Amino acid sequence: MNSTSWSPRRTCRGTVLSDWPDLHASWLALLSLVVLLAGCGSGDPFSYIPVSGKVTYDDGSLIQYEGVKLTFIPQTAPLTPNTFPRPGIATLDPATGEFHEVTSHTFNDGLVQGKHKVTLSTVSRSPLPPSVVPREYADPEKTPLLVDTAEQPFDLKVRKPKTQPR
């Protein structure tokens, strides 16, 4: 055999051909790392601000009704025609009138920064009885409740209906 014949140690552009399995493993590890890092984002282009607050009737008394859900509808413009900020939701504690753990994307992440209209409904998304909360508070177009994440904690006042639940 002469010195120009192929051998396992012959190089191709500086790479030893017998080392290709190791080179292949290195590229596979690098590719795996890139894919892993690309998948580490939250999948949501918005950032969130933790919020909390209290909801009472306009006279300061508590809304003592089990299962009141607050929905915070962002007034922020979409980032693109297909990228809208998500609404936040929270459940009202009837014993204190307070709400915590507002969730928009992941549990207790809060709200997208800015202003939000607030609606009140039951946890099953049906309107509250008019004897508990006037119907306008369930309609995003009519609700008088508006909050700004820059002004916390939220102190929401709801008009007290003329007849109260018994």
pLDDT block averages, 10 residues each, the chain of length 166: 52 51 52 45 80 97 95 94 94 96 95 97 88 94 97 96 66
Please give the model's pTM, rounded to 2 decimal places: 0.72
Place of tokens 């309609």: 139
Q: Which pair of structure tokens corresponds to residue 6?
A: 């192929």
Cα–Cα distance measured from residue 27 to residue 131, given in angstroms and rounded to the nearest whole number: 67
Cα–Cα separations (whole angstroms), residue 112 to 44, 85, 123, 153: 11, 7, 22, 15
In this prediction, residue 26 carries a pLDDT of 55
